[in-house]
Structure 1
Amino acid sequence: MTNTVGIAKVLTLFSVALLIAPGQTRAEETPPLPMDFYEEVPRGEAPSIEEYVYSEPGSPVSDLTTDSFNLWDSCPAAPESSGTWLRRGWWAAEIDTFVFVRKWDIANQTIATDGSIFNPNTLRSIGFGRTMPTAASGRLNLSRFLFRDGENRDHRFEFNVMGGGESVASCHLDSNNANAIQVPFTIDGAASISFDGASSMDASYSSQLNSFELNYTVTSRMERDRMELQPDGQWVRRANSGVTYHGLAGMRYIDLSENIFWTANDIISVPGNADPLTGETGQYNVKTNNDMFGFQAGGGVAYESHRWSVTLFARGGFAFNDAKSNSNLTYTDPVTGDARTDIGFANSDRTGSMPFFIQGGLLGRYHLRPNVSIRAGYEYMYVTAVGLAPHQLNFTPNDGKVVTSGNPFMHGLTLGGEFYW
């Protein structure tokens, strides 16, 4: 019995030894856990800046030589093009030339006809066409970047000035028979004296529009860039083309100034006239000025890619208009060469109105570099309830009001560029 118990104890100790020994061996063979679980995976030698630039001809937005946009630290692939490159800068300038034609009325205005010809098919007249010759204006838009919000929209403050162009039309008429030119009744009315009976006439009409704007703008940007795998196994980063929007609100001042200078030579009045003219030269000068100040709002939609974009836009509003007109009619004595003081007049009139204005168009851009683009498009501008010089022609002194029935319309082509820095 004693031997049996002893044998059992020996077997038990031997079994425990067999169980413990392998555990100690495994503990000694298992390596310790690393202190850093996020060891950097070896990626070889870092490429140079030149290797980052995609080399396919015509594909890159620009030939970058420096990491001025601080993109390399966050780019796992060569940035062939990127939406984050576009419209980057604290300041921006847009410079355009606006070549336009101007339509100032729905019909041509005749100011005189040759009364020596009675055949309607050969009637000769002088006046101004409803569409004036082509003119050109310049425009500068200067904007300051404020901040970018959480929805990836740029907030800017902009100042826009447009003007410098002048539309000019002129006309001349010689009567077949002396002293046969007649002024329409719609202009001289019941006036006892006008330019009726002149032998020749000259007239010129000029119009100039200037505009100043101060706006707050919000412009959305393209979505995050997309990654594309090339056939050679390289990844490139490209702009994610899509639709963007912009809106604006601000103040606008518009100045519309016009001038008509009308001369008539060798005027012989109708016999029996209370104030006979015996060969006088008449000069009629009309100047109008419209000072419009108001508020505007607008917006647009654009399709943008890494190299080009197309934008459809419009802005408009209402303004308070201070319309002024100055008319001066004089006659020069054919003998003394002095102005006659017994006939003629000088009027200064003023009237208020509330015009509506709208401006819009279609604009295309091509990005030469991320911060330099060329642009071209079509643009129009329409203004209502303004005083135009041809509408003030009247040989009868009026009631002190300016006729504000003018609705000029301008449209044409724009060409320019935009720059960011």
Structure 2
Amino acid sequence: MEIINTLTSQIAVWKNFLTGAAGTLPTAPMLKTGAEVLLGLLVLLLIAYRFRTHQVRRERKIRYRIGRMIAHLCDTYDSLEDVDWKKQKAYRYHFVDGDLKIDQRDIEGIGDLIGPLHPSDGLKYNEDYIKGAIEKAMKTCSPVEFIAREKGSDGTFHWKAFLFQGVKNDKIHSRSCLLLKRDVDDSRSAEMEKRAQLSLDMNEARKAAQAKTEFLNRFSQDTREALRDIMGNLSLTREEMDPGRRKDYLDESQQEARYLMTMIEDVKELSDIENGTLEIRSEEFNVDETLTKLNQLFQKEGEKRDITYDCTVEPLLYPNLIGDEKRLEQVLLNLLTHALLFTDRGQKVLCAVRQKLVKNKKVAMEFTVLCAGMRVPQEMVEKAFLPFELTRQVGSAKVHGGLGLVVTQRLVTLMGGQIRADNAEGRGMRYIIELPFDFASHVK
């Protein structure tokens, strides 16, 4: 109280002095007190200035960070809106020439926020679902996201990602909801393509597994049949006293044994091709010499079977080729052997060879094999390159196609060529092979 009374009396003296009521100068204590008051006021003003400056800087930093965050969201998303569902207002944030703009609009329903959805998506993400998503986001301040096809201004549907994020506005639990949209057409298309490819790969794997199972079943069945024939012939041979009949039984057994050996070798060839361990060589050879050896072999074989074999070779401009002679011989051997097996006595097997074209320093050799005189149904042509599918009855015996043409087709493809089969317009079963080869520089 004493301090207050002293300060009050000094203020009264200063008041009288300033108003001119007193004619004398203030005393030293009064001057000291006035200086202390002024100094206190200056300190208070300085503190207030520093506090306000700090507050302004802090607000600027916050606005800068908010601006950067909004700019990042605007760059990431196609649309950014602050939805006040209670006031039925939506505030759209966007940048124009680097400046942040906020557009306000009234909303009445979900249709003002999200355009028409694709019918199949609209069944899942209906109006009740979207209202529930907004309420959940506002209540929990957690994100709620879904992907659907929204109808664009061009009338087509585009995949969009919709994200609702609840936001607290103040301390009295007033909340709004951010709605962010972005186009996900590319990523969705890539995802759908990946799923489609995965489904396709799974189907192919199932088909491959089924094909392998069928192949093993047919291989096992064919092997059992051949072994039964061999065992039956051997039993008959042991009991047969006629030398001619015994020789026939042994010949049939030997033929079945050859078939088994050929089939086993074909399985190994197929395995090597599928594993990528089969090598295709590139060496110079004379195709005329190769064809001469094959023709001599099959003319003798045709005479044994009472089948006419004839091979015509057009004059070859490039007889010296560069490629795998061994694989070429194997392809032609398989094909001609198959043709003889499926040709009846008294009929013909015709072979024609020519150089079809020369292009890009390569020559295309065309080989045509025709089992003339056979009546070939269309289903037999369609099964030409399927394992164990080509079978026909010859007298009391059944002729098996085995794996010869399957291996032939794989080898032709591996050598960069093509093979096809048709019924030669009703004249018989015909196979056409085209194989590319490099050729030597010297010309015949």
Shorter chain as denominator, the TM-score bin is under 0.3
Q: TM-score, normalised by structure 2?
A: 0.21
- Could you say which structure has the higher strand fraction? 1
Decide which structure has the larger Cα Rg and report it.
Answer: 2
Q: Which structure would you say has the larger RCO, counting Cα contacts within 8 Å and 6 or more residues apart? A: 1
